[in-house]
Chain A
Amino acid sequence: MIAAWRSLRREARLTEFRLFLAALCFIAVALSAVSLFGSRVERAMQAQTGALLGADGLLASSRPIDDEFARLAESLGLRTARTVDFLSMAVGPEDSRLARVRAVSGAYPLRGEVLTRDPGASDEGVGGEAIAAGTAWVAPSLAREQSLSAGATLSLGRKSFEVTREISLEPEGGVGSFSIAPRVMIPLADVDATGLLTPASRARFRLLVAGEADAVSAFGDAVEERLSPHEQWHVADLERDEVRATVGRVVSYLNLAVMLSVLLAVVAMAVAAQGLWRRQAHAGALMRCLGARHGAMVRRQTMVYLLAAVPVAASGSVLGGVFQHVASIGVARAAGIELPPPSLGPALTTTAISVLVTLAVMVPFLFAQRFVPVMTLLRAELRDRVHAGAIGVAVVAFLVAGFAVLLAGDLVLALSVLAGLAAAGVVFWFLIRALLAVLATTARAPSASWHIALRNLASNARRSAWLASAFGAAVFALVLLGAVRGDLFAAWNQSIPENAPNIFLVNIQGEEVDAMRGLLEQRHVPSERFYPIYRGRLVSIDGEAVAEADFESESARHRVNHEFNLTEDGVLPDGNEIVAGRWFDAGERGFSVERETADSLGLAIGSRIAFDVAGTRVEAPVTSIRTVRWDSMKPNFFVLGSPGLFGEAPRQFITAAFAGEDAGDLSRAVNRQFPSVTLIDLGSILDRLRNLVEQASAAVSVVFAFTLAAALLVLVAMLQGQREARRREIALLKTLGASRAQIRAAIVAEFGLLGAVAGAVGGALALASGWLLAWQVFEFDYLPAWHWIAISLAGGALLVGAGGYLSIRSLVKVQPVRLLAG
């Protein structure tokens, strides 16, 4: 141990070792910045979807929920809140009305917020208020219908409440709730005083929890074990249809960013490691000459790298944490969204990964040293036969593959990138070598400098190809991320055209449809079709009754457990695409099922499914399976019936409309004319989400640029590592009579050429990889941005040319004799 410390101190004097550690530090910084930030954005997204549920998870029951569950949740560090929902007559000054009463504890909601305003006002409302004892908040429709103003009295059972606010937005106000009765919210503590809750009354008791994702799922697991038949456990996952498409893409994009950063950093590190390998090979040969045993040396050196890597990786991770914290402050401010605090987990993982990368880069080499003959000490030319580069390529390939798959989690994403990478590796190596050979033999050099540059490229084919590949990898990663990002947002913007619907109108009664249509037309508000909605519970598949217990997946259980919103339609809605079977023929009876629903319930074309719609059994075969564009913001349905399928079953109508900025106005008009119609404003939710996505992605690009800077730094380090060889070449050129200007021009030409080739090939491969990703992962139409190739070609030529020149500039001034002396 002491010996290892001493070795470490000595090793630290090597420029190569310091560069290697700098690369390691960059890996840790980049990894931790991107992954911490990514996980925080992902959690923020999760919280956003949680906002739609009011919690990260909730336990619902038809009976009061045992305190034991709340204690369990709290012991896991989760915050909790309780609600009780029941229907009751609300007696106002004018009339009485059936209301959906929700009694809430002080902490409700745990995610998202209840926005309230003065009764009758039309502003967005403010959040964060707790409901005071003896007061009630009411839905706008109720306030209007009953002319409730602030201070009015509303009675529920035996207790009177003072109406203080009107609810403009509440969690779970999404598209899914097609409710009949208006909402009244009261404090949980006042429920008993109403006398409305008796053991016989129908109510829904809920325990909401929120906190660390791990704790939530631990709680969920514990709860599910002792769930009684009357209890259900729900989680807010990224399964919400309206947001899933968006969030899924962002998460994939973040994964991609993390993966490419790791890729780049590992390549950078391997580059930095090369110089170290050379030193190590020399020191190893000398030690063995002095009588050291190979195994002992491997152990000693491994120890040295561990001792160095652990603190460097740890501090790099912390630095990355600081970096992403600064970035996240910007995001929080710009998007108006609070990111959850960073967690220690990713920092530890990052440290561990960085240390592993170090060991993976160095330890195989230490073992490979056995093959470095001690005779290299006596015979210098043997040194050139130590193909550290070949080991390097193998190590890098292995590492990249391993980590990519590990980190991406998303196999398709990982494989797409890896395919691009493998192609890049092969193409780089062979294309560049071939290209250089062709250049050297056929190109007519316009000047002596060009001639020297071309010859140098050709005669050092291996070195040139290695340099070009390292730089090409950087170009590949950057262009891929840049291009995909651009296309991601282009696709997102396309999928939500400027006049995409931003409000939903639900609970429209059949006789109100014409009047509603008239109102919208009169106000020039474009709307979708009016879809009839039937509420139905899935009762049998192929003649067998279904029960929740028959299904494994959470989503299938959920579907079986809840009523479907069913509609019937003779025309395939926009954004829907038939993937199996065919659309209804005239007069045919059947169901068209959304693909994932069909998958989770095990439905295929021809499966007979039956729904219980208000007491009537409606049974028909599945005649088609559809995909649905959830982010189209239009009414979408899991299950569609053929026209007339539901007969005379009770129904309501739903439509979506684009009200632009006038949503508030429209809301008032609708409230006045159609008190029972609920207007859901999706715009605000989606705006916030969209904002978050854009900011997150911008910040990730910043983080990625940081990684690129690391790669560039190591590129310079690599050029630095060539100084010895270059020194000899320049001396030779000088003795042959080349002028300084000629040599300088030759260097710039050589590196510029190398950079141009690397940039062009890297850019082209990135576009190919991007196409694969767009097609397989992000599912949008990809427009290859050819200009990227030109940009990366020019950028490569400039950067590598300038870098090469800067790193070798000082050698040009030296006298040839001095050069030879060293």
Chain B
Amino acid sequence: MLKSVFASPTDDASHSSRLLMNSDDFHGNQPVVRTDRLGKRVSVGSGAIQILEDIDLTVQDNTAVSISGRSGSGKTTLLGLLAGLDTPTEGAVALFGRSLVNLDEDARAALRRGRVGFVFQSFHLLPNLTALENVALALEVGQPGEDIDARAAEALQRVGLAPRMHHLPSQLSGGEQQRVALARAIVVRPTVLFADEPTGNLDHATREEVASLLFELRAEHGCTLVLVTHDLDLAGRCDRHYHLEAGRLVS
């Protein structure tokens, strides 16, 4: 049925020339993420369920895009596909102008390295690493160099956690942990920031604090933001909105 335009670069010249380019050539006026009739289907027991279907979206550089929808509508699944953490079953997705469809996991990781930041609902700090080390980890993996600790400390300072630098995650509150995660996400000065319900595990007061910080940091670094949330308040602060309903986009 659906034939991917990315299946082979020579298949469809018009699409290819528009969407496929060397990611190193990527620059500001190209879309950061672009999908073409993206779909995801998983088999459950004997049957299969279509989680996402016919998703066409474009995220331009230096914009904030929200993806909202009810619980179970497929937001997390979509984010995973956009960031190359997961592979689609139909259609195509390109990150930094590079199709993810035929890349293996290592190649997709290489594409993310040093250019993508993540913020998760459940923080995902490594429990045996201090705040500073957790932030530094992103640099060790993404942008190895001399001044890792200094840059990590600076990022922590920016999120207001300089005094807690040497604390383990278990010694920090939920809001503080998420601020460490934010520092980890921006320390590499990413081109794009993916966030999945970044305030979902926080209480009301901290939620606002973390949300404001997220948008401030995005503005400061001028990076693209793909924000998944069912919180309409948060979605409202973005430039562009997509709404998912039962796996389909409704604008």
A: residues with CB less than 8 A from B are 3, 10-11, 13-14, 17, 279, 282-283, 286-295, 370, 373-375, 377-380
The answer to whether B128 and A374 have CB atoms under 8 Å apart is no
Within the complex, the shortest CB–CB distance from B51 to chain A, in Å, comes to 11
B: residues with CB less than 8 A from A are 76, 79-80, 85-86, 105-106, 109-116, 118, 120, 122, 124, 126-129, 133, 137-138, 140-142, 168, 196
The answer to whether B116 and A287 have CB atoms under 8 Å apart is no
Residues of A within 8 A of B85 (CB): 289, 373-375, 377-378
Residues of B within 8 A of A380 (CB): 122
The answer to whether B141 and A287 have CB atoms under 8 Å apart is yes
**What's the Cα separation between A294 and B105 when bound, in Å?**
9
Taking each of B79, B111, B133, B141, which has the highest tally of chain A beta carbons within 10 Å of its own beta carbon?
Answer: B141
Closest to B184 in A: A290
The answer to whether B137 and A11 have CB atoms under 8 Å apart is no
- Which 5 residue pairs are nearest across A and B when measured between Cβ atoms? A291-B113, A13-B128, A290-B141, A374-B85, A291-B112
Residues of B within 8 A of A283 (CB): 126
Within the complex, the shortest CB–CB distance from B132 to chain A, in Å, comes to 11
Residue of B79, B106, B126, B196 touching A294 (CB-CB under 8 A): B106
Between A and B, 9 residue pairs with Cβ closer than 8 Å are A10-B129, A11-B128, A289-B85, A289-B109, A289-B118, A291-B110, A294-B106, A295-B106, A378-B196
Closest to B81 in A: A375
Given known contacts A374-B85, A377-B85, A377-B120, A291 and B141 CB-to-CB distance under 8 angstroms: yes
Residues of B within 8 A of A286 (CB): 124, 126, 137
Since A378-B76, A379-B80 are in contact, a sample of 5 more A-B pairs with Cβ atoms closer than 8 Å, ordered by chain A residue number, is: A10-B133, A282-B126, A288-B109, A290-B112, A377-B85
The answer to whether B142 and A290 have CB atoms under 8 Å apart is yes
**What's the Cα separation between A279 and B140 when bound, in Å?**
19
Closest to A287 in B: B141
**What's the Cα separation between A10 and B86 when bound, in Å?**
29
The answer to whether A10 and B124 have CB atoms under 8 Å apart is no
Residues of A within 8 A of B110 (CB): 291, 293
Residues of B within 8 A of A279 (CB): 127-128
Residues of A within 8 A of B86 (CB): 373-375
Given known contacts A290-B138, A291-B116, A293-B110, A377 and B124 CB-to-CB distance under 8 angstroms: yes
The answer to whether B128 and A292 have CB atoms under 8 Å apart is no
**What's the Cα separation between A374 and B196 when bound, in Å?**
14
Within the complex, the shortest CB–CB distance from A732 to chain B, in Å, comes to 19
Closest to B170 in A: A822
Within the complex, the shortest CB–CB distance from A703 to chain B, in Å, comes to 34
Residues of A within 8 A of B168 (CB): 13
Residue of B76, B80, B114, B128 touching A14 (CB-CB under 8 A): B128
The answer to whether B141 and A370 have CB atoms under 8 Å apart is no
Residues of A within 8 A of B127 (CB): 14, 279
Within the complex, the shortest CB–CB distance from B80 to chain A, in Å, comes to 5
The answer to whether A378 and B128 have CB atoms under 8 Å apart is no
Closest to A285 in B: B124
**What's the Cα separation between A713 and B114 when bound, in Å?**
43
The answer to whether A292 and B124 have CB atoms under 8 Å apart is no
**What's the Cα separation between A286 and B117 when bound, in Å?**
11
The answer to whether B109 and A293 have CB atoms under 8 Å apart is yes
Within the complex, the shortest CB–CB distance from A326 to chain B, in Å, comes to 36
The answer to whether B137 and A290 have CB atoms under 8 Å apart is yes
Residue of A14, A291, A379 touching B142 (CB-CB under 8 A): A291
Residues of B within 8 A of A373 (CB): 85-86
**What's the Cα separation between A286 and B79 when bound, in Å?**
16
Closest to B144 in A: A3
Residues of A within 8 A of B113 (CB): 290-292
**What's the Cα separation between A3 and B127 when bound, in Å?**
19
Given known contacts A10-B133, A377-B120, A378-B79, A370 and B105 CB-to-CB distance under 8 angstroms: yes
Within the complex, the shortest CB–CB distance from B38 to chain A, in Å, comes to 16
**What's the Cα separation between A291 and B120 when bound, in Å?**
16
Within the complex, the shortest CB–CB distance from A292 to chain B, in Å, comes to 5
The answer to whether B120 and A378 have CB atoms under 8 Å apart is yes
**What's the Cα separation between A380 and B112 when bound, in Å?**
22
Within the complex, the shortest CB–CB distance from A48 to chain B, in Å, comes to 53
Closest to A297 in B: B141
**What's the Cα separation between A375 and B78 when bound, in Å?**
11
Residues of A within 8 A of B80 (CB): 375, 378-379
Closest to B138 in A: A290
Within the complex, the shortest CB–CB distance from A378 to chain B, in Å, comes to 5
Within the complex, the shortest CB–CB distance from A685 to chain B, in Å, comes to 60
Residues of B within 8 A of A14 (CB): 127-128
Within the complex, the shortest CB–CB distance from A443 to chain B, in Å, comes to 30
Closest to A3 in B: B140
**What's the Cα separation between A373 and B77 when bound, in Å?**
13
**What's the Cα separation between A405 and B105 when bound, in Å?**
39
The answer to whether B112 and A10 have CB atoms under 8 Å apart is no
Residues of B within 8 A of A293 (CB): 106, 109-110
**What's the Cα separation between A253 and B175 when bound, in Å?**
60
**What's the Cα separation between A286 and B137 when bound, in Å?**
10
**What's the Cα separation between A279 and B109 when bound, in Å?**
20
Taking each of B109, B110, B127, B133, which has the highest tally of chain A beta carbons within 10 Å of its own beta carbon?
Answer: B109
Within the complex, the shortest CB–CB distance from A814 to chain B, in Å, comes to 15
Taking each of A286, A287, A291, A375, which has the highest tally of chain B beta carbons within 10 Å of its own beta carbon?
Answer: A291
**What's the Cα separation between A764 and B85 when bound, in Å?**
49
Residues of A within 8 A of B111 (CB): 291
Closest to B115 in A: A291
**What's the Cα separation between A374 and B116 when bound, in Å?**
14
**What's the Cα separation between A510 and B116 when bound, in Å?**
104
Residues of B within 8 A of A370 (CB): 105
**What's the Cα separation between A293 and B141 when bound, in Å?**
9
Given known contacts A375-B85, A378-B85, A289 and B137 CB-to-CB distance under 8 angstroms: no
Taking each of A279, A282, A290, which has the highest tally of chain B beta carbons within 10 Å of its own beta carbon?
Answer: A290
**What's the Cα separation between A287 and B141 when bound, in Å?**
7
Residues of A within 8 A of B116 (CB): 291
**What's the Cα separation between A375 and B115 when bound, in Å?**
19
Residues of A within 8 A of B196 (CB): 378
Taking each of B86, B113, B126, B168, which has the highest tally of chain A beta carbons within 10 Å of its own beta carbon?
Answer: B126
The answer to whether B76 and A288 have CB atoms under 8 Å apart is no
The answer to whether A291 and B114 have CB atoms under 8 Å apart is yes
Within the complex, the shortest CB–CB distance from A19 to chain B, in Å, comes to 13
Closest to B111 in A: A291
Within the complex, the shortest CB–CB distance from B135 to chain A, in Å, comes to 11
Residues of B within 8 A of A290 (CB): 112-113, 118, 137-138, 141-142
Taking each of B76, B128, B129, B133, which has the highest tally of chain A beta carbons within 10 Å of its own beta carbon?
Answer: B128
**What's the Cα separation between A373 and B126 when bound, in Å?**
17
Closest to B120 in A: A377
Residues of B within 8 A of A3 (CB): 140
**What's the Cα separation between A286 and B106 when bound, in Å?**
13
Closest to B228 in A: A378
**What's the Cα separation between A408 and B60 when bound, in Å?**
67
**What's the Cα separation between A287 and B116 when bound, in Å?**
12
Residues of B within 8 A of A17 (CB): 128
**What's the Cα separation between A292 and B106 when bound, in Å?**
8
Closest to A379 in B: B76
The answer to whether A291 and B105 have CB atoms under 8 Å apart is no
Closest to B79 in A: A378
Taking each of A13, A370, A378, which has the highest tally of chain B beta carbons within 10 Å of its own beta carbon?
Answer: A378
Within the complex, the shortest CB–CB distance from B67 to chain A, in Å, comes to 13
**What's the Cα separation between A379 and B51 when bound, in Å?**
14
Closest to B86 in A: A375
Within the complex, the shortest CB–CB distance from B130 to chain A, in Å, comes to 9
**What's the Cα separation between A279 and B126 when bound, in Å?**
9
**What's the Cα separation between A285 and B43 when bound, in Å?**
23
Closest to B117 in A: A290
Within the complex, the shortest CB–CB distance from B203 to chain A, in Å, comes to 10
Closest to B112 in A: A291
**What's the Cα separation between A283 and B125 when bound, in Å?**
9
